[in-house]
Structure 1
Amino acid sequence: MALRRVLSPLLLILIINFCYPTQAIDQDDLLVVAVASSENDGYNRFIRSLKVYGYKYEIYGLGQESTNAEQRMKIVRDNLVRYKDDKKKIILYTDVYNVIFTQGPVFVLDKFEGLKPARIVFGAEDKCWPDENLQYDYPMVGSNEKRFLNSAGFMGYASDIYEMITSQDDIKDEQIFFTKVFLDESSRNKWSIVLDKRADVFMNLNGAINELQLPANGDDVYVHNSWTDSIPTVIQGNGSAQKSLNYLSNYIARTWSTNEGCLQCKESLFDVTQIDDLMQWPMVYIGLFIEFPTPFLREYFEKIMKLTYPKQRLSILIHNQVEYHKNITEQYLKKFSEDEYKFVKYLNVDDDTTEAEARQQAIHECQEDKCDYLFILDSIAHIDHPDTLIKLIA
């Protein structure tokens, strides 16, 4: 009997080692999966970061109506079923619209290896939600560690993840479901679930903005968490942290470098001058706003007229709120009207159109006219380079 008690845990260890590979994970076995209903700026930013670092990824749900938590998990289950028996593939699930990757697959897998014997790893944060009372059920953590599960990002072996997300028929709330799975000791042990307590892989910015540092390694700007002293890879900016993520996106994921400045600005450049038919050039709606007495107003208008862009593809809206400038503005209004601009519209000081109303009108008319670009220029700013529009469109 005593020998049996000794052999049982050894047998369990042997079974686990047999079922799951012990050698280093091949980066081709890492797959990023996410659910998105439409492509927008946040989506494009997310995809760009994946491509920059060479991730393999699958996006589910595109073209469908906006999805809630229950629908998202159903979509994930339906698509991961083909990996349900795969004990080599590593699935990394994350949100889309508020997430940026800042390192490549090798870094992620090294960090995942460092968390073994864990087979599923969830992101962690400082706040227990949506039920704060559950905080008392969480295991204690060390200093400078994150204690509470965040369901916006997790990774693990495909077979384990599929088994976990199909252990309940309907998952109406991801955060509640995964929290209960983690807090249940038998489930936690069954799938060897741990939290990324030191934000090695996942960092949620919500409530952690003060922990951020942005050091640079050559041309690569990365995120350093000063609280956990880690370099996280998957940066999540949900809720009130979205603006902070937008700020970070100007620098991380090889967007900017200390030597070359803006790197993303050099991607997917569009040389409009290669279009021979001028009527096929993008349509630009220009809003000119004279809201305060302004010196050198004549030069301001002259520089607009010297733009090296087909006038047939330019629409002009002028809003003048300064009586003193009425004469000179109407002189140039006549010049604009006599030229080949698509149309010219003038809102003068007598129209009682406020600045806010005029700016909103510019946006509305641009949309109504199906313009490709809206270019706003206040009278206090001058265009010194005639090819400014061409360079901005590039």
Structure 2
Amino acid sequence: MEYLKFCFVFSCWVKFAISVYSTETPQAPVPIPKERLLVLTVATEETDGFIRFKQSADYFNYTVKVLGMGEAWKGGDVGRSIGGGQKVRLLKEAMEGLADQEDLVVLSVDSYDLIFAGGPEEILRKFQQVNHKVLFAAEGLIWPDKRLADKYPSVRSGKRYLNSGGIIGYAPYINKIVTQWNLHDNDDDQLFYTKVYLDPLKRESLNMTLDHKCQIFQNLNGAADEVLLKFGTDRVRVRNTAYDSLPVVVHGNGNTKMYLNYLANYVPNAWNYEHGCSHCDDDLVDLSQLQDYPNVLVGVFIEQPTPFLPEFFQRLLTQDYPKDKLKVFVHNNEVYHEKHIQKFWEENRNVFNSFKVVGPEENLSQGEARNMGMDLCRKDTTCDYYFSIDSDVMLTNRQTLKLLIEQNRKIIGPLVTRHGKLWSNFWGALSLDGYYARSEDYVDIVQRKRMGVWNIPYMAHVYLVKGSSLRNELKERNYFVLEKLDPDMAFCRNAREMTSHREKDSPSPESFHMLRPPKGVFMYISNRHDFGRLISKANYNISHYNSDLWQIFENPVDWKEKYIHQNYTRIFTENVMEEPCPDVFWFPLFTEKACDELVEEMEHYGSWSGGRHEDKRITGGYETVPTDDIHMKQIGFDKEWLHFIREFISPVTLKVFSGYYTKGYAVMNFVVKYTPGRQSYLRPHHDSSTFTINVALNNKDTDFQGGGCRFHRYNCSIESPRKGWSFMHPGRLTHLHEGLPTTNGTRYIAVSFIDP
């Protein structure tokens, strides 16, 4: 016994010594040539997901063979229940001719919801390191039979359960697996592979294992929080933070399709910080090379009172696109806006190819109206594009329609945002209940720090849809009505998920009961250009005669564009200001539209004071130098007018009265009316202000004769005021002045005594 123990110890020592002192090193396995890797995938239709899969495969030069293209799908609704057996049957047929190629490695993957993040060399190297003949993708959730969970081999670390969306192995071994298939096309493929794998004898004889730590396959279902983007100089990778791995194949299985769409906006080379967007110029439509411009149906939707609607229509009119190629469909749900639409139609009735209005008397819901607009294009075979736009979209880019058509997407919208806010017309992600969630890149896209064309889960307000898609992938009716969702949410869900439906057009009774796979039409948002903005419809009070005047708070940019003189900013850059009398400054302030609407508002109110000394509107009830006027406060415009003073008068004050910082406060803000029959002039007086502004609201010689202002101390008169221009002059001490007689017509001016 002692002798045997000695022999055993001695032999162990010899083996150890040989291993330590031997100069020979183990031979690394010979790398498998990338030419010996064949990718097999099943796709019966060229969906957007399949096209994306092919693009990622082509980027890495994979050899791909597509199985089942053009064949009727009989594999069930795999997105919502068991099915997919057709994939196994097609793979079985394909492997019959490959079974004897012992050095061939077959990679079987899904295609509609899968992309490559690495190349053939990497995937083959990682497969060799596993040292098994067949490797299945793994995931942390078990499907479709949870009762099989206990039969899985336990793992110390990593994903435990098989996923059939990714399989890699040597051809003879893959063939031995799929030859066992003897079920139907609508039976479950994953259950089949699971049962093969869980058989201990088969698992041993076929040398199978799972990719427990996502070295090759990354299934996103149940693992989205493990994954983040890793930006490199040449391309972007997906990194699994749980196992510190860089998966080669990324699979958006289960309910992670939208998360895959997000990742694919970057992976493998769609966008990075070095070169920006790589695919934005792929497959562009060159409009200059077309014989004629495409026909576009423009659907305009006015579903609630909307500020600046006349300006909205003018921007539509100024789109740089042949108007004979545009048909316009308008759904107006607001009686208030009928006057605006009528005026636009009367002025432009012969501009467009056609102009159809459906008004509030039709009593259509939003969903019904939007379905109607889309159906008009769907049924018209000459309709190349359908452009849907809501009345709260201000397209400041005249090239918007052309730019969207050029991008050549089935559904694409221009990014529009609310001024000064992160509110936009798209969502970067969805919450579990299908509502808004902020994606990691949302803010950068909205602020255009990352510019490109982005696959997103939800859009609204404005988008372009190909007419051919409406007659094919999107041919079903009633897209805008779904459960209790808003119409835009219903449309987006129907487009991206494409709920499977019966093949009603099939003549075969058997195929009538077969379900097609989801289409998953991708929706894109482009922020490659500054397209425009969204205006706010909140707090829009239509009780005024000209309600847009009150929008200085809610929509300051549109208010400024409509009401502030186009040369106002030149006051500070080119010195357009004039000084007709000492310390009397004259500058452009209001547009003609602002002047007209302010006068209309006052006349609509109608209660002019009559120029009497007794005035209950002011403190003390007595006006020493009365005018025939209406106060801004009387029409509920005082708050807006004071804000206007702070925003547009205060900067001018600082320029002309150097060193004086106005409080921008005024008690007396009013519009004065001069007529020969009521009050034609104003006697000499000082204003109760530090300085005064006096804005001409109509035109001399056109609307009235006479008028003007005379400053006594300097014996200087200004007798030809310009409409929309303002005087600014000191009030209390130095500038005694009078209003010169209006001899004919009616003269209107807006006055403020600032810093009383």
- Give TM-score, length-normalised by structure 1: 0.88
Runs of 4+ in 1 over 4 A off after TM superposition: none
User: Structure 1 residue 195: deviation in Å?
Assistant: 0.3
1:314 aligns with 2:326: yes
2: CA distance, partners of 1:259 / 1:237: 27
> Structure 2: which 5+ residue stretches go unaligned?
1-27, 76-83, 407-756
Letter in 2 for 1:146: K
1:186 aligns with 2:201: yes
1:352 aligns with 2:363: yes
1:125 aligns with 2:132: no
Letter in 1 for 2:88: M
Matched residue SS, 2:395: coil
Matched residue SS, 1:84: coil
Letter in 2 for 1:369: D
2:433 counterpart residue number: none
1: CA distance, partners of 2:385 / 2:175: 45
Matched residue SS, 1:338: coil
1: CA distance, partners of 2:153 / 2:267: 33
1:72 counterpart residue number: 87
For residues 348 and 108 of structure 1, do their structure 2 counterparts lie closer, same or farther at Cα, with a shift above 3 Å needed?
same
1:136 aligns with 2:143: no
Letter in 2 for 1:56: T
The within-5 A match list for 1:37-56 is 37-56=44-63
Letter in 2 for 1:64: E
2: CA distance, partners of 1:336 / 1:151: 60
**Identity in percent:** 35
1: CA distance, partners of 2:205 / 2:264: 38
2:224 counterpart residue number: 209
For residues 347 and 53 of structure 1, do their structure 2 counterparts lie closer, same or farther at Cα, with a shift above 3 Å needed?
same
User: Structure 1 residue 22: deviation in Å?
Assistant: 4.3
1:365 counterpart residue number: 376
For residues 87 and 293 of structure 1, do their structure 2 counterparts lie closer, same or farther at Cα, with a shift above 3 Å needed?
same
**1:91 aligned residue (106, 111, 116):** 106
1: CA distance, partners of 2:301 / 2:40: 46
The within-5 A match list for 1:1-394 is 22-68=29-75, 69-116=84-131, 118-143=132-157, 145-170=158-183, 172-275=187-290, 277-278=291-292, 281-341=293-353, 343-370=354-381, 371-394=383-406
Q: Deviations over 1:330-371 (max 9, x none)?
A: 222334431242x32111233212222211212221211133
Task: Tell me, yes or no, if the aligned pair for 2:328 and 2:352 is still in contact at 8 Å.
Answer: no
Letter in 1 for 2:39: V
Q: Deviations over 1:209-232 (max 9, x none)?
A: 111211211252221111222111
Letter in 1 for 2:125: D
Letter in 1 for 2:233: G
1: CA distance, partners of 2:216 / 2:34: 15
2: CA distance, partners of 1:132 / 1:81: 32
Matched residue SS, 1:112: helix
User: Structure 1 residue 104: deviation in Å?
Assistant: 1.5
Task: Tell me, yes or no, if the aligned pair for 1:121 and 1:195 is still in contact at 8 Å.
Answer: yes
Letter in 1 for 2:93: D
> Structure 1: which 5+ residue stretches go unaligned?
1-20
2: CA distance, partners of 1:84 / 1:385: 59
Task: Tell me, yes or no, if the aligned pair for 1:101 and 1:253 is still in contact at 8 Å.
Answer: yes
2: CA distance, partners of 1:207 / 1:104: 25
2:597 counterpart residue number: none
For residues 334 and 29 of structure 1, do their structure 2 counterparts lie closer, same or farther at Cα, with a shift above 3 Å needed?
farther
Letter in 2 for 1:367: R
Q: Which has the higher contact order (CA 8 A, sep 6+)?
A: 1
Task: Tell me, yes or no, if the aligned pair for 1:219 and 1:258 is still in contact at 8 Å.
Answer: no
Letter in 2 for 1:284: V
User: Structure 1 residue 199: deviation in Å?
Assistant: 0.8
2: CA distance, partners of 1:356 / 1:212: 38
1: CA distance, partners of 2:385 / 2:268: 27
Letter in 2 for 1:286: V
1: CA distance, partners of 2:370 / 2:395: 20
Higher normalized helix content (fraction of residues): 1
Matched residue SS, 1:142: coil
Letter in 1 for 2:171: A
Letter in 1 for 2:52: R
User: Structure 1 residue 67: deviation in Å?
Assistant: 3.1
Letter in 1 for 2:313: F
For residues 274 and 30 of structure 1, do their structure 2 counterparts lie closer, same or farther at Cα, with a shift above 3 Å needed?
same
Greater CA radius of gyration, 1 or 2?
2
2: CA distance, partners of 1:233 / 1:353: 51
Letter in 2 for 1:382: M
For residues 38 and 332 of structure 1, do their structure 2 counterparts lie closer, same or farther at Cα, with a shift above 3 Å needed?
same
Task: Tell me, yes or no, if the aligned pair for 2:43 and 2:66 is still in contact at 8 Å.
Answer: yes
Task: Tell me, yes or no, if the aligned pair for 2:327 and 2:352 is still in contact at 8 Å.
Answer: no
Letter in 1 for 2:111: V
